[in-house]
Amino acid sequence: MAFDYSLIGKRIKLARDKQGITQEVLAEKLDVSNAYISKIERGKTPINLDRLSQLCVILEESPEYILSGANSSTRDYLRNEINLMLEDCSPDKIKLIMQVIKPIVEFKE
């Protein structure tokens, strides 16, 4: 299973923002540099399992949510994942995605 580190980074940033923690505070709690946190949040560097475990405790999130977007307390996690993926898409790409998914959504089983 391959991980999308840019999505993992976005989920980490969302969880950090939700807790009202700055990158600097998170870096201090993890005993790492601010640059390291920034790289993780931008998907430029992978996070190891030990660091992920520490981060999840600090951010009060599950590893499942951080890695895959799945969260037992959220029934709409797939919608959240789709929204995260669409954030960086150009208007033309979103229009193309709409053309692909519209027939699927409208299909009557």
32-90: per-residue pLDDT in tens? 999 999 999 999 999 999 999 999 999 999 898 898 877 655 566 677 778 888 888 99
60-69: per-residue pLDDT in tens? 998 988 988 7
The reported pTM is 0.67
Q: In angstroms, rounded to a whole number, what is the distance separating the alpha carbons of residues 14 and 80? A: 11
pLDDT for position 70? 72
CA distances, 60 to each of 6, 55, 104 (Å): 20, 8, 36
Domain boundaries, the chain: 5-106
Cβ-contact 87, 97 below 8 angstroms: no
pLDDT for position 73? 56
Query: In the numeric block, which tokens belong to residue 76?
Result: 């709409």
CATH of domain 5-106: 1.10.260.40
